[in-house]
């Protein structure tokens, strides 16, 4: 379960949003496997649908998995997320539904910048909670723009802080750096190649809790992947202390962006 939750965090934090980067709305389907071997057993699937309107982004994600812990004990896991974020990236509203062997857990909440503070309000089965997040915290769908822009600019290594809506409801401190292309898994022979437009980079990311400093402790998990400037991810490998989960792109559909009226130009006062 920990490995699949780390996968959910990885996908949630690596979603595109920005009016400035060449990000595209899309629908992507992934195969989840336990382990990085070529013949690793498939344990689930993920579908991510990101649409764009003139008001902002709408994210729907459906992840399902089954882990056979023994011959007689299987763990069925499912997670659904529905989120909205305005183009400005200054707010995020979300709801989640997670199911483990039939037991449901629902949460909903919002993150909003107000003055000099960034506040999160989350309602879970444990009750309501309010958090003040660090000012540099990026909304989940805004993080990818930051990463793409830094990679495009040739940055060697850089940190980022992002809100995690699904696994922890808090923040992750992420250490990002370009990876050696040789460390990114090749496509499995059983999978049909999927054409993804745009430039791409091999990346390596290390995730720690938001209150920790980089390299202060061992990371909670790490991710290596191929990241495209369109916002699409492929060949993810999520390493956790308990297990390794991989995600491979099986199908991709690019949505057509909306045609929106230009923003009104403020009238200068005399």
Q: What is the predicted pLDDT for the residue at 207?
A: 92
Higher confidence at residue 213 or residue 162?
Answer: 162
DSSP string, 148-201: HHHHHTT-S-EEEEEE-TTTTSSEEEEEEEE--GGGSPPPPTTSPP----S-EE
**Confidence band (pLDDT; 50, 70, 90) for 261?**
confident
The predicted pLDDT at position 210 comes to 73
Quote the tokens at residue 190: 């059983």
pLDDT the model gives residue 21: 46
> How far is the C-alpha of 105 from the C-alpha of 116, rounded, in Å?
32
Question: Taking 50 as the threshold, does the pLDDT of residue 235 lie above it?
Answer: yes
Q: Kindly state the percentage of the chain with pLDDT values over 70.
A: 85
pLDDT above 50 for 137: yes
CA distances in angstroms from 109 to 93, 95, 120, 121, 169, listed in the order given = 6, 7, 7, 5, 9
**pLDDT in the model for residue 164:** 86
pLDDT reported for residue 269: 42
Output the pLDDT for position 245. Answer: 92
pLDDT in tens, 243-260: 899 999 999 999 998 888
Burial category of 103 from C-beta neighbours within 10 Å (exposed 0-12, middle 13-18, buried 19 and up):
exposed
Q: What is the pTM of this model?
A: 0.83
Q: What is the pLDDT of residues 45-101, one digit of tens each?
A: 999 998 999 988 898 999 999 877 666 778 899 999 999 988 888 889 999 999 999
Residue 11 has pLDDT above 80, yes or no: no
- Phi, psi values for residue 151, rounded to 5°: -65, -40
Express each pLDDT in 155-180 by its tens digit: 989 999 998 888 777 888 999 999 99
Mean pLDDT, all residues of the chain: 84
pLDDT at 18: 37
Looking at residue 72, what is its pLDDT?
Answer: 75
Record the tokens describing residue 183, joined without a space: 């460390």
- State how far the Cα of 119 lies from the Cα of 111, in Å rounded to an integer: 6
What is the maximum alpha-carbon separation in the chain? 78
């Amino acid at each position: 379960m920990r490995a699949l939750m780390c996968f959910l965090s990885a996908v949630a934090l690596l979603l595109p949003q920005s009016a400035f980067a060449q990000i595209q709305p899309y629908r992507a389907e992934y195969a989840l496997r336990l382990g990085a071997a070529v013949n690793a057993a498939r344990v689930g699937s993920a579908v991510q649908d990101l649409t764009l309107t003139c008001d902002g982004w709408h994210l729907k994600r459906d992840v399902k998995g089954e882990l056979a812990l023994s011959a007689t004990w299987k763990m069925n896991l499912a997670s659904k997320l529905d989120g909205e974020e305005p183009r400005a990236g200054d707010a995020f509203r979300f709801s989640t539904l997670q199911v483990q062997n039939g037991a449901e857990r629902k949460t909903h909440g919002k993150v909003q910048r107000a003055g000099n503070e960034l506040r999160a309000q989350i309602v879970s089965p444990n009750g309501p909670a309010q958090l003040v997040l660090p000012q540099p915290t990026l909304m989940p769908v805004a993080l990818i723009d930051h990463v793409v822009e830094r990679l495009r600019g040739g940055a060697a290594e850089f940190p980022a802080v992002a809100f995690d809506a699904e696994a922890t409801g808090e923040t992750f401190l992420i250490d990002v750096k370009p990876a050696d292309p040789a460390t990114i898994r090749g496509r499995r022979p059983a999978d049909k190649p999927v054409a993804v437009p745009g430039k791409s980079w091999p990346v390596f990311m290390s995730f720690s809790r938001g209150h920790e400093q980089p390299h202060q402790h061992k990371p909670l998990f790490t991710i290596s992947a191929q990241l495209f400037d369109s916002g699409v991810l492929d060949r993810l490998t999520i390493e956790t202390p308990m297990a390794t989960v991989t995600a491979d792109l099986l199908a991709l559909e690019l949505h057509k962006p909306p045609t929106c009226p230009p923003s009104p130009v403020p009238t200068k006062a005399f």
